[in-house]
Structure 1
């Protein structure tokens, strides 16, 4: 079948891209447009009954140059869409949304096996058991570099249960060691069942598992001994807004991607890169501080160790550190999944501000790593539709 003659607009587009070293062909332009990666040329009337003409959008040249350099046989269009979008290139919005949702596979029940509508708890338990059996031996609770630094801190005689912190930890309620199987079970239960399938004590056990042995973990103690305060599952506004999802969390994650602005999605993508730089920098800083302590020349302040202990005490930073060290070079799919996790955390902070308006949120810049705090601020400045008040101003 004969191919159509290339339009003058495409000829001009390839010529402009070629001036910048691109080697794209007319066939590739067609393929990229079919995949939704490249916008079609703008058509406009030529005037005085002379038909119409077309021209490529000005921003298309940058995209063709990028695709020419990165599109290779075997590369999935959605991966290209995610990376090009992260690079600030004008990928069409429907393609961007599709790529984010596909990459994170939020609605792929078939991958997890069938379940009966009336027996969801049993199904979730079966899924957790199956995944734990398949992946438990390959799952790492704490990456080696993190454990090595913990060991150096302990060897330096620095306590993980200093009295001023230990005063806020009443001690664990569980005595059994936490395993990678427990981790997978908790994760599956939280994603597939929400607070219907796990309790605060499960989160507390995970928080303690992230910490070094014998460490004081106040946030875990708060979950284990709520002291009359509501459990996380019970924090809501009475009108359908809950702090944590009560059912399948994938519905909420899908909603987060759907409601997020393109600016927020791109910021979340870059936050993953910042998270990796933050993790490496924090480890480097703590190791340098420990070197100085070992040499008998401790610096006047220890910002790295301070942040390290914040992570232990409140667990969130420790979780982010773990994620970054376990996957330092994520695939586009993995980066999108982690980006949505960060966006979910940022959205949760906005939700918490609405549900607990008198919280001490002024502490967030101190307690959170910069990339997460900035993302939370971006979400707070443009709340998703599900968090906006229906009341008129």
Structure 2
């Protein structure tokens, strides 16, 4: 088939890209526009009844140069959109959001066939969780080797994981079954598909204990195992419909996080994945250096690395983030976006807590949270999503 010659605007766009070392073709421009990766030329009246002329949007040249270097046969447009967005390029926003939404849940949950009408959703969730856990459990470990090595060195140094000031607040677990990476995946899938209806407090307690060294004092896990009449996870709310955790399918909440986030928040979440990995490696380096000093009988005045390490053991969240960062140091575009959505969900959850418990000691967050998560939470707080604004959630 004979293709028509490129328009004057496209010819100028190609020429501008060539000047910068790229070699795009008219066919590629058509393909990128069809995929939503490249904005269409802008139409303007030529004046005095002479019809219209097309002009290239100012950002198009940068996009064409980038796409010429990165677009290859077989590469998904969504992955290209995410990478270009992460690189600071002005990919059309509808395409970017669609790519984020497609990556918002792990394990390809968006491709699942929903249960038939009238079927028991809990049974369906249990079957799906078991199926996906069996499929993926061999690809992961409960704790990366570096975390286990550091824990072993701490124990060898004679440092107890049951800190004296915390031990009285942990009654000890009532669950003696060994916990595996498959158990973790089953719980994660069940939580995504069913929210608090499928997530018992004991499940979170089991995760908290499974990710820390044996004998650790974990007050948070103890509180979940022995709530003593306190509110259940499903009951924590602000009285106006705002809940701490989703009561049903969490995919709806994850999609809402992406839909309501500003472009600046999405970009910050994308960068936070890199920051999380740098934080994890730096923390391991710091703890190992401090343990080297103890082994050489050269004590230091302070041990900030070990302090942060024990924060993770005590409160759980930092330990989970450390695990995620070390398990996947170089994630794919889709996996990176999925992790970024998880971080954005956590940052949003922190601000849900601000709305529910406004008099809590949130001034401690900079000490308790890793810097990348605290900064993301502050960015969300500065421009709250619609579902967290008092006037709209009340």
TM-score by length of 1: 0.95
Corresponding residue for 1:338? Answer: 339
- 1:226 to partner: Cα distance: 2.6
Corresponding residue for 1:388? Answer: 389
Aligned to 1:184, the other structure's residue is in SS state helix
Compared with structure 1, are the counterparts of its residues 15 and 139 closer, same or farther at alpha carbon in structure 2 (3 Å cutoff)?
A: same
Stretch deviating more after TM superposition (154-163 or 180-189): 180-189
- 1:391 to partner: Cα distance: 6.7
Corresponding residue for 1:174? Answer: 175
Task: Please say if residues 386 and 392 of structure 2, whose CA atoms lie closer than 8 Å, have aligned partners that are also in contact.
Answer: no
- 1:375 matched to 2:376? The reply is yes
Stretch deviating more after TM superposition (16-25 or 303-312): 16-25
- Looking at structure 2, the residues matched to 115 and 308 of structure 1 have their Cα atoms a distance apart, in angstroms, of 46
- 1:145 to partner: Cα distance: 0.8
Corresponding residue for 1:329? Answer: 330
Aligned to 1:164, the other structure's residue is in SS state coil
Corresponding residue for 1:133? Answer: 134
Corresponding residue for 1:37? Answer: 37
Corresponding residue for 1:144? Answer: 145
Stretch deviating more after TM superposition (333-342 or 220-229): 220-229
Aligned to 2:91, the other structure's residue is in SS state coil
- Looking at structure 1, the residues matched to 109 and 392 of structure 2 have their Cα atoms a distance apart, in angstroms, of 36
Corresponding residue for 2:120? Answer: 119
Aligned to 2:171, the other structure's residue is in SS state coil
- Looking at structure 1, the residues matched to 379 and 237 of structure 2 have their Cα atoms a distance apart, in angstroms, of 23
Corresponding residue for 1:92? Answer: 92
- Looking at structure 1, the residues matched to 215 and 233 of structure 2 have their Cα atoms a distance apart, in angstroms, of 25
Q: Deviations over 1:42-88 (max 9, x none)?
A: 12112222222222111211111111111111111110000001111
Compared with structure 1, are the counterparts of its residues 282 and 112 closer, same or farther at alpha carbon in structure 2 (3 Å cutoff)?
A: farther
Stretch deviating more after TM superposition (266-275 or 2-11): 2-11
Q: Deviations over 1:115-155 (max 9, x none)?
A: 55441111111122222333334431101111111111111
Matches for 1:258-297 after TM superposition, within 5 Å: 258-297=259-298
Aligned to 1:237, the other structure's residue is in SS state coil
- Looking at structure 2, the residues matched to 390 and 343 of structure 1 have their Cα atoms a distance apart, in angstroms, of 22
Task: Provide the aligned C-alpha RMSD in A.
Answer: 1.9
- Looking at structure 1, the residues matched to 322 and 371 of structure 2 have their Cα atoms a distance apart, in angstroms, of 13
- Looking at structure 2, the residues matched to 137 and 12 of structure 1 have their Cα atoms a distance apart, in angstroms, of 52
Matches for 1:143-292 after TM superposition, within 5 Å: 143-292=144-293
- Looking at structure 1, the residues matched to 79 and 138 of structure 2 have their Cα atoms a distance apart, in angstroms, of 29
Corresponding residue for 1:18? Answer: 18
Aligned to 1:178, the other structure's residue is in SS state coil
- 1:178 to partner: Cα distance: 1.5
Unpaired runs of at least 5, structure 2 = none
- Looking at structure 2, the residues matched to 391 and 184 of structure 1 have their Cα atoms a distance apart, in angstroms, of 35
Aligned to 2:43, the other structure's residue is in SS state strand
Compared with structure 1, are the counterparts of its residues 46 and 320 closer, same or farther at alpha carbon in structure 2 (3 Å cutoff)?
A: same
- 1:103 to partner: Cα distance: 2.4
Corresponding residue for 1:317? Answer: 318
- 1:316 to partner: Cα distance: 0.3
Report how many residues are paired: 393
Q: Deviations over 1:13-33 (max 9, x none)?
A: 222222221122222111111
- Looking at structure 2, the residues matched to 129 and 315 of structure 1 have their Cα atoms a distance apart, in angstroms, of 24
